[in-house]
Chains A and B, each alone.
Chain A
Amino acid sequence: MNRRFATIIAAGAAGAFALALPLHALPKGTAGYNTSSDTPMDCGSGRTLTLHGPADLWPPNHKYYTDIYAEAKDPAGGIITLDTDGTHDQYDGDTEASGSGHTADDIRANDNNSDGSLATEGSNSTAQHPAATEMNDGDVVTNWEARAERAGTIQAGRTYTLNATATFSDGSTCTNSIQMHVPHDMRPSNR
């Protein structure tokens, strides 16, 4: 009887999901535009490396979206080195694709970290691919920010990529990555 009841509930839930999905299209990305969510990575032994950011940004008003960060944790409190780097896909060599606005540093590490530390420039940092390195015991956070901007000439929109590598006290490493997209326009498929 209990198994039958559980089966009925599961069938009902599946049916509801199938009904709800076409009637109310899910927001773009995992949580809608300009809304950050966590992308966690299990690094083993209770350690984690989480990237937090929006799946999509709009409108392209050149303003920074600031709710972006990488956080590495070690419950044992060991020292962690967190390397992060960011870029986007609308560069023509050293310059941004035409129509990207007059602003620079479209993705960058934000020095105003909540843990009070400063992000030092990573050794592989370039203007088109900025990087940052931070160290701390047990919990290290590096804040980033990315402009809501895209080249009007590129139909596919702009995709930012934020990468992170955590190196733990025993020398083990863990990596994670997220992408954040600025669409070209608000055609119905992007809404």
Chain B
Amino acid sequence: MTPRFASEDPASAGSFRVPRVLALVLAVSALIAVPACRVGHDRAKSDGGLDKDKSVKAKPLDPTETSVTTPGTTSSTSSRSGTTATTKRGTATTGTSASATPTTAPAPFRTLTDVADKTNDEGLQGTAYGDIVELKVEDNGTRARVTVAVAADFPAPPPADETISVPVDFFRGGKESDFQLFAQWNGADWRAYYTAGTTQKQFPGTFELGANKLVFDVPWSALGGRVAGTVSAEADWSKQGTVVAPASEDHAPDQGSAPFAF
């Protein structure tokens, strides 16, 4: 008697139809779940509405890399990310030894504008690290270094239930900012974002944070070129609450924006 496959036997058709049905259900589930999973993964790349892939995470600020200057003077040479003076080792070939190639030290930064902001003006519910005390813009011929200092060291890290936003806006004659450098503590990490007009683009430089300072270092080409304009900064701090949340807001300058020129 020729064995018949169970599926060919009408008497056993019902019992073997179940695994086939189950396999079909699982296959359909996979087809639908995979795109849904991808939505979730794409969602993880965003920081709310910003694309994390276009942001940079904060690096620790080297306190020796920010100069203390007075307006109009030249600061001491500082080494910045991307412009660090290093000695390169040449490629070693047979019979020769590696040779050092000296590089030119980066141009020093000089202050274009240095806005002092009074302390304790961020609001009664605020915190000292939400209170801007200085906004400084420096130039080294090709790059802008923007420093925002607050009245106390940032917690390392800040609490997860706090949101700290520090937009620095550059204006080229209009009422709306033409370029924005934006730093934010989002409860998880510090990141910097860059917007040209209303469009987010890849952050074009470095972002460092340490003690009571945030430092952005970007090429002037990302800020509309090395031309005169105005600049302003804000520190927006808030904490999760119930109906009413503790929050503060501080601006430098207090009103409008501060001019800078070359």
Is B190 interfacial (CB 8 A cutoff)?
no
CA–CA, A21 and B69, complex, Å: 56
CB distance from A115 to the nearest CB of B (A): 20
* Residue of B25, B48, B163, B249 touching A8 (CB-CB under 8 A): B25
CA–CA, A56 and B130, complex, Å: 25
Report how many residues on chain B are interfacial, defined by Cβ distance under 8 Å: 55
Is A154 interfacial (CB 8 A cutoff)?
yes
CA–CA, A101 and B232, complex, Å: 12
Is A75 interfacial (CB 8 A cutoff)?
no
Closest to B36 in A: A20
Residues from 32 to 87 in B contacting A, C-beta threshold 8 Å: 32-33, 36-37, 39-41, 43, 46-50
Is A144 interfacial (CB 8 A cutoff)?
no
Residues from 1 to 17 in A contacting B, C-beta threshold 8 Å: 8-9, 11-13, 15-17
CA–CA, A190 and B261, complex, Å: 42
CB distance from B171 to the nearest CB of A (A): 12
Is A60 interfacial (CB 8 A cutoff)?
yes
Is the Cβ of A155 less than 8 Å from the Cβ of B165? no
Given known A-B contacts A19-B29, A63-B195, A187 and B255 have beta carbons under 8 A apart: no
Is B225 interfacial (CB 8 A cutoff)?
no
Residues from 190 to 232 in B contacting A, C-beta threshold 8 Å: 193, 195, 198
CA–CA, A48 and B151, complex, Å: 55
Is the Cβ of B25 less than 8 Å from the Cβ of A33? no
* Residue of A15, A57, A153, A185 touching B244 (CB-CB under 8 A): A153
CA–CA, A24 and B35, complex, Å: 10
Kindly list chain A residues whose C-beta atoms are within 8 Å of the C-beta of B248. Answer: 99, 152
Of A16, A19, A34, chain B has the most CB atoms within 10 Å of the CB of: A16
CA–CA, A75 and B184, complex, Å: 47
Is the Cβ of B198 less than 8 Å from the Cβ of A16? no
Is the Cβ of A9 less than 8 Å from the Cβ of B240? no
CB distance from A169 to the nearest CB of B (A): 35
Given known A-B contacts A15-B29, A33-B48, A152-B238, A59 and B165 have beta carbons under 8 A apart: yes
CA–CA, A12 and B27, complex, Å: 8
* Chain A interface mostly: loop
CA–CA, A145 and B195, complex, Å: 16
Is the Cβ of A154 less than 8 Å from the Cβ of B50? no
Kindly list chain B residues whose C-beta atoms are within 8 Å of the C-beta of A21. Answer: 36
CB distance from A55 to the nearest CB of B (A): 11
Closest to A65 in B: B198
Proximity bits, A170-191, B CB within 8 Å = 1, else 0: 0000000000000011110011
Residues of B bordering A, CB below 8 Å: 21, 24-33, 36-37, 39-41, 43, 46-50, 123, 125, 161, 163, 165, 167, 169, 176-177, 180, 182, 184, 186-187, 193, 195, 198, 234, 236-238, 240-249, 251, 255
What are 29 residue pairs bridging A and B, where the CB atoms are less than 8 Å apart in the complex?
A8-B21, A12-B25, A13-B28, A15-B29, A16-B33, A16-B36, A20-B37, A21-B36, A23-B33, A23-B37, A24-B36, A25-B40, A33-B49, A56-B48, A59-B49, A59-B165, A60-B165, A62-B169, A63-B176, A63-B195, A64-B176, A65-B198, A98-B249, A102-B255, A155-B245, A156-B243, A185-B238, A187-B187, A190-B48
User: Apart from A185-B240, A191-B48, what are 8 other A-B pairs with CB-CB below 8 Å?
Assistant: A12-B27, A20-B37, A32-B46, A54-B49, A58-B47, A63-B180, A155-B243, A186-B47
Q: Which 3 A-B pairs have the closest CB atoms?
A: A24-B40, A152-B247, A58-B48
